């Protein structure tokens, strides 16, 4: 039972990070029916931007909790802004010129962007792992055999706040309505006066900013980042988006958490060496048995 609860907590933690990344896949797909396979790299760049930001501001470990929170906030905001802009630039350079080409073209373009970003980061920071300082104090809350760290609580809290905010934005504001309308019918969206290109850019910005938050939290959680990190995390988050039903925002959130839980429980009960396999087993199973995912939209009503 302790093992179960412990793995549940660990799985939930990493799952919310996958969920944050998955949002970008699903939002971009919802708007332009494109799988942005460079999105994992945006997550990785987000982690590096966060790291660079605290290095720049000269973080000293052992700060008080309020100071630590301030640093975390600064890190997140800078990383969100930087990665958000990166997302827009990727769209402008790699996708917009080929908007009406076959999907395979966009896929190849995405792979190109991935290579460029990975290699750029490798050239700037070097191929070795970069240590991420302990910003959130290393506090453990112990309940019997179950431990939850302050960092885990922070990850859950930050993710929860962002997801509630995003849901509110999309469901209850005029801007969110415009995004959903655009995702259904670009031409009609233009007819009611929505600037469709602007909405697409905004979608890339938000999706990339969410991935950046995932990247910063990921770095802080594992204390290290590497230019390769975007690949695996990106694939798992993509799986989460497909599991939730690509294009569906709450689906991506649930999908991420489920993938995290599967990974946590799989690692605990089967083998931690197989940790990375569970997500892909799930991916294969969904593609075989329910390609629309858990909350998938009926593909037929796309005009």
* Contacts with another protein, residue ranges (CB under 8 A): 174, 177-178, 180-181, 184-185, 187-188, 190-194, 297, 301, 303
Q: Which is nearer to another protein, 142 or 298 (CB)?
A: 298
Residue 25, token pair as written in the block:
């896949």
**Angstrom distance (rounded) from CA 32 to CA 19:** 20
The minimum distance between CB 188 and another protein, in angstroms, equals: 4
Q: Which is nearer to another protein, 173 or 271 (CB)?
A: 173
Q: Which is nearer to another protein, 103 or 190 (CB)?
A: 190
The minimum distance between CB 156 and another protein, in angstroms, equals: 30
The minimum distance between CB 92 and another protein, in angstroms, equals: 22
The residue among 180, 202, 171 whose CA lies nearest residue 84 is 202
Q: Which is nearer to another protein, 69 or 196 (CB)?
A: 196
The minimum distance between CB 303 and another protein, in angstroms, equals: 7
Q: Which is nearer to another protein, 103 or 177 (CB)?
A: 177
The minimum distance between CB 183 and another protein, in angstroms, equals: 9
């Amino acid at each position: 039972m302790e093992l179960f609860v412990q793995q549940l907590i660990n799985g939930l933690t990493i799952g919310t990070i996958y969920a944050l990344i998955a949002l970008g896949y699903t939002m971009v797909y919802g708007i332009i029916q494109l799988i942005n396979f460079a999105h994992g790299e945006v997550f990785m760049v987000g982690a590096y931007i966060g790291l660079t930001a605290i290095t720049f501001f000269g973080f000293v470990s052992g700060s008080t909790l309020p100071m630590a929170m301030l640093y975390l906030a600064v890190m997140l905001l800078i990383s969100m802004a930087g990665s958000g802009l990166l997302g827009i630039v990727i769209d402008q350079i790699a996708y917009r010129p080929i908007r009406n080409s076959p999907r395979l073209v966009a896929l190849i373009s995405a792979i190109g962007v991935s290579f460029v970003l990975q290699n750029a980061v490798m050239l700037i920071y070097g191929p070795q792992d970069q240590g991420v300082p302990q910003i959130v104090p290393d506090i453990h809350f112990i309940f019997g055999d179950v431990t939850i760290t302050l960092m885990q609580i922070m990850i859950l809290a930050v993710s929860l706040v962002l997801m509630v905010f995003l849901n509110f934005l999309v469901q209850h504001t005029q801007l969110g309505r415009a995004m959903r309308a655009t995702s259904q019918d670009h031409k009609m969206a233009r007819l009611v006066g929505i600037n469709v290109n602007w909405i697409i850019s905004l979608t890339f910005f938000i999706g990339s900013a969410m991935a950046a938050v995932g990247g910063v939290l990921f770095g802080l959680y594992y204390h290290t980042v590497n230019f390769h990190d975007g690949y695996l995390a990106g694939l798992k988050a993509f799986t989460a988006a497909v599991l939730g039903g690509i294009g569906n925002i709450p689906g991506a959130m649930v999908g991420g958490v489920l993938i995290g839980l599967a990974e946590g429980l799989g690692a605990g009960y089967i083998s931690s060496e197989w940790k990375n396999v569970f997500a892909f087993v799930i991916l294969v199973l969904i593609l075989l048995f329910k390609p629309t995912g858990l909350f998938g939209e009926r593909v037929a009503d796309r005009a």
